[in-house]
Amino acid sequence: MKSRWLACHGGVTFSKPDGLAGRCAEAVRGANDAVQAVTRLEQDGSFNCGLGSNLTIDGRVECEAGIMYSDGRFGGVAAVEELATPILLAAALANNHASIHGLVAPNFLAGARTAEYAKISGITLWKPEELINQRRRESWVRAKRKLGAATQGVTLEGSLDTVGAVELSISGPGVACASSGGILLKQPGRVGHCPVWGAGVWCEQGPSTSVAVALSGLGEAIVKTRMASGIADALLSMEDDDLPTETISRWIDRHFTNSKWLAQIEEDRRIAGGIILLKKKEDPPELLVFHNSPHLPVAYTNSRGKVKTVHSQNDNPSAFTFSSVIL
């Protein structure tokens, strides 16, 4: 049996994501860990992160990423303009604990000068115009045209496909990470769920259970409900006879779908989904997949080391769909 398990997702999507599950599989197959898997998705250009990022309302790329280890290390970056692989900077922040001249080392950076820290960390910087994906540019032009016509609002379709990866290991800490280009036509400086503590990613090891969560969807809704940490807490406190999918469903129904904190967000915009790795001491690990979008592409390694894909579909977008795979 393997001692390490890895899975990644290509984000909640509205149109059929032809080939995206396969691209997720390529990322998993070529990665040694969750950070490398997300880095590959950032460099792919097919996903809303890194070189495939949505554009802000003024036509620029601003990326974000977040990472959490089960031993408590955390790193987040937001609104960065010169990075194609923001997850590498988030990981650098999480792993840099050394104080400089007695100052506390940061674990979250945002804005233009974040690039200076990236350069010091040895991460490649890009010119802002080099980050613009032609397909995303065309989507931006169409969305701006609709916005200018003022006939109907711009939809969220095609703009929420944040990527993420989760990893659990018998011999080392688990990790969860996520990366995003944000929603289409977002305001410059906008921060989504990826780099926010407890929102987009969570990884924790309890006395008998380990869990790693990576989410995708509307960041504003995910942040206000602290979705990743909330779901993780529910799974870590399950009774022995509780089913993980039912536990997640109950949490979502109470704390997301019917949350009082989301009263200002239209119901049809409360989109979320993600993947979870769950491992109890005596049981094989379980991959949990859930979303209320039409599609969520996923890839993972099973206990024999084989890379598998899941193209999770939801024919009833007004409700969440749940599935699980024993690895």
- Tell me the one-letter amino acid at 60: R
- The residue with tokens 């005596």 is 282
pLDDT at 191: 96
Distance CA 239, CA 221 (A): 28
pTM of the model: 0.93
Give the tokens for residue 145: 């045209």
pLDDT at 139: 87
Distance CA 23, CA 41 (A): 8
**Closest CA relative to residue 162, chosen from 25, 272, 73:** 272
pLDDT at 281: 81
pLDDT at 3: 83
Domain ranges of the chain: 4-326
* Residue 269, burial from CB neighbour count under 10 angstroms (0-12, 13-18, 19+): middle
Q: Which residues contact 130 (CB under 8 A, 6 or more apart)?
A: none
Q: How confident is the prediction along the chain (327 residues), in pLDDT tens digits per residue?
A: 568 899 999 999 887 767 899 999 999 999 999 999 999 999 999 999 999 999 999 999 999 999 999 999 999 999 999 999 999 999 999 998 766 677 888 999 998 889 999 998 999 999 999 999 888 999 888 888 887 665 555 555 555 678 999 999 988 899 999 999 999 999 999 999 999 999 999 999 988 899 999 999 999 999 999 999 999 999 999 988 899 999 999 999 999 999 999 999 999 899 999 999 999 888 889 999 999 999 999 999 988 889 999 888 898 877 999 999 998
pLDDT at 155: 56
So which residues are the catalytic ones? Answer: 162
C-alpha distances in Å from residue 94, one per residue of 7, 108, 306: 20, 9, 30
Helices (H), 106-243: 114-120, 134-149, 219-224, 227-236
pLDDT at 43: 96
Helix 34-44 vs helix 86-95: crossing angle, to nearest 10: 160
